[in-house]
């Protein structure tokens, strides 16, 4: 799959999680950083999206321990939550 096609697919998956909270957390993260990701970062996010929303949100909020396969700079950026802009 081409790079741009993968990014379009990831954007859709990031914004269609099932709950508004997960959509904002995961979708906004993709919107903020996705365009600049390299192959390894895209693969990390693809794998992350296969996880349950409750786990992803727990890792971001610090209520659950982060599995080793997700630990690192990308998860650190995700956990800052400074990318979330909630429309009013």
How many structural domains comprise the chain? 1
* Mean pLDDT confidence for 3-7: 92
Residue 7 host element (H or E) = helix 3-15
User: Is the confidence at residue 47, as pLDDT, over 80?
Assistant: yes
pTM of the model: 0.91
pLDDT category of residue 84 using cuts at 50, 70 and 90 = confident
Query: Could you give the percent of the chain with pLDDT greater than 90?
Result: 86
Residue 7 belongs to domain spanning: 3-80
Residue with tokens 């999206």: 49
Is the residue at 85 inside a domain?
no
Question: Which sign, positive or negative, has the C-alpha torsion 26, 28, 31, 32?
Answer: negative
Give the chain's mean pLDDT.
94
Q: Kindly report the CATH number assigned to the domain that includes residue 19.
A: 1.10.150.250
pLDDT tens digits for range 56-65: 999 999 999 9
Considering the domain boundaries, does residue 22 fall inside one?
A: yes
Q: Give the Cα separation of 14 and 66 in Å (integer).
A: 19
């Amino acid at each position: 799959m081409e790079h741009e096609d993968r990014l379009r697919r990831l954007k859709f998956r990031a914004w269609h999680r099932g709950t508004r909270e997960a959509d904002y957390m995961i979708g906004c993260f993709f919107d903020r950083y996705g365009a600049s990701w390299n192959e390894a970062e895209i693969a990390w996010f693809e794998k992350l999206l296969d996880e349950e929303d409750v786990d992803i949100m727990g890792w971001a909020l610090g209520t659950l321990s982060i599995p080793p396969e997700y630990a690192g700079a990308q998860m650190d950026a995700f956990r800052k939550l400074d990318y979330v802009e909630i429309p009013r």
